[in-house]
Amino acid sequence: MLMILDSFSSLWCNLAAVFKYMVGHISFILFAQIGTKHWRYYDFGPKVVPPLICLPGTAGTADVYYKQIMSLSMKVGYRVISVDIPCVWNHQEWIQGFEKFLDAIDVHHIHLYGTSLGGFLAQLFAQHRPRRVKSLILSNTFLETSSFSAAMRWAPIVGWAPSFLLKRYILTGIHDGPQEPFIADSVDFVVSQVETLSRDDLASRLAFTVDNASVGPLLLSDSFITIMDTNDYSSIPQELKDQLGERYPAARRAYLKTGGDFPFLSRPDEVNLHLQLHLRRVGVEAKPDLVRTIPKDGSGGSPGKENDEKKDHDDQPNGNGGNPESTSKES
């Protein structure tokens, strides 16, 4: 049994090594300059496919979604864009900056996958820019930040706190008890990403979570929302996750029995399956014949029209998109 676990762990490390090799040897990391802010992101997959944009949590970077990029983009034929949260200090600034980022990369209609803080920001963007967001996948996330600000007594001075204190606060929210190998590896990977963040990056992300804000009503129908939570452990309190389910009672539900805070790393096959089911259901068609395995220009795209012709079609597809059976419980 130990040998099997060691083999799986080695495979996980090999996948990470492949991704790091690509990042190091191909022009794969992209940057967009929006005013004084740098947006760091990965963009891979056919450009004709409306993109799935992945937003990480407080402890994540664009790198944490590499398993979704390697599977959904390189094998299946979806376009996946993974974005770092830039150093901005309030929610309105992020909404405006993210819209300018989308304009800069010439993307109009989007599907958002957000975990933890990323899920909260995805909902805010869907609330304030409803024409651009066609669907949401929300994982281990929340509707409001008041409980976080109440729990952090030094919230008013988060912008001036030293780096070591910010890192310690973020890392104490990550479960560090005994864990099975895949979850332990996912934690190690995310911790390594936290170490790459500057003090300002850390402070601005924590400022998001302690700045009192809440998600208002969305114009997006619940039928275009999937809630994907883990049932074993999450740093997001169950009460906050329950509030999310109550807000979107008709949303599709995808329960992962295990996976911890970072199921996109520890349970990539399950997560990728649910992402595919969601995209099919909302009418996004993969283009496997247009996939470039090793892109020369770093974009991973294919020749063709950009996104969905940048038209404001607000009609939304009906039906289940031919979904195969899955372990998701639907409400």
> For residue range 287-327, what is the model confidence (pLDDT) as tens digits?
999 987 554 444 444 433 444 444 444 444 343 333 333 34
Q: Cβ of 115: how many Cβ atoms within 10 Å? A: 29
Whether 51 contacts 306, CB under 8 Å = no
* Residue pointed to by tokens 């304009």: 103
- Whole-angstrom Cα distance, residue 322 to residue 309? 25
pLDDT higher than threshold 80 for residue 17 = no
Q: How far is CA 217 from the centre of its chain?
A: 21
Token code pair at residue 153 = 């007594």
Q: Is the pTM of this model over 0.75?
A: yes
> Highest-confidence range of 11-15, 155-159, 266-270, by mean pLDDT?
266-270
With respect to residue 325, please indicate whether it lies within any of the assigned structural domains. no
- Whole-angstrom Cα distance, residue 319 to residue 296? 38
**82 CB-side CA count, 13 A:** 22
Whether 148 contacts 207, CB under 8 Å = no
Model pLDDT for residues 187-212, shown as the tens digit of each residue: 999 999 999 999 999 999 999 888 88
With respect to residue 319, please indicate whether it lies within any of the assigned structural domains. no
- Whole-angstrom Cα distance, residue 34 to residue 32? 6
With respect to residue 66, please indicate whether it lies within any of the assigned structural domains. yes
Token code pair at residue 29 = 């990391």
What are 139's strand-pairing partners? 115
With respect to residue 139, please indicate whether it lies within any of the assigned structural domains. yes
Torsion-angle region of 136 (φ positive above 0: left; ψ -120 to 50: alpha; else: beta):
beta
- Whole-angstrom Cα distance, residue 187 to residue 175? 8
Count up the domains in the chain and report the number: 1
User: What pLDDT sits at residue 20?
Assistant: 54
Instruction: State residue 71 phi and psi, 5-degree precision.
Output: -95, -60
Give the CATH number of the domain where residue 140 resides. 3.40.50.1820
Instruction: State residue 27 phi and psi, 5-degree precision.
Output: -75, 75
With respect to residue 93, please indicate whether it lies within any of the assigned structural domains. yes
- Whole-angstrom Cα distance, residue 331 to residue 326? 14
Domain range holding 269? 27-290
User: What pLDDT sits at residue 159?
Assistant: 84
Complete DSSP assignment for 139-181:
ES--SB-HHHHHH-TTGGGGGG--HHHHHHHHHHTS--SS--H
Token code pair at residue 123 = 């909902």
Model pLDDT for residues 141-152, shown as the tens digit of each residue: 999 998 887 878
- Whole-angstrom Cα distance, residue 70 to residue 44? 9
With respect to residue 214, please indicate whether it lies within any of the assigned structural domains. yes
Token code pair at residue 303 = 């020749």
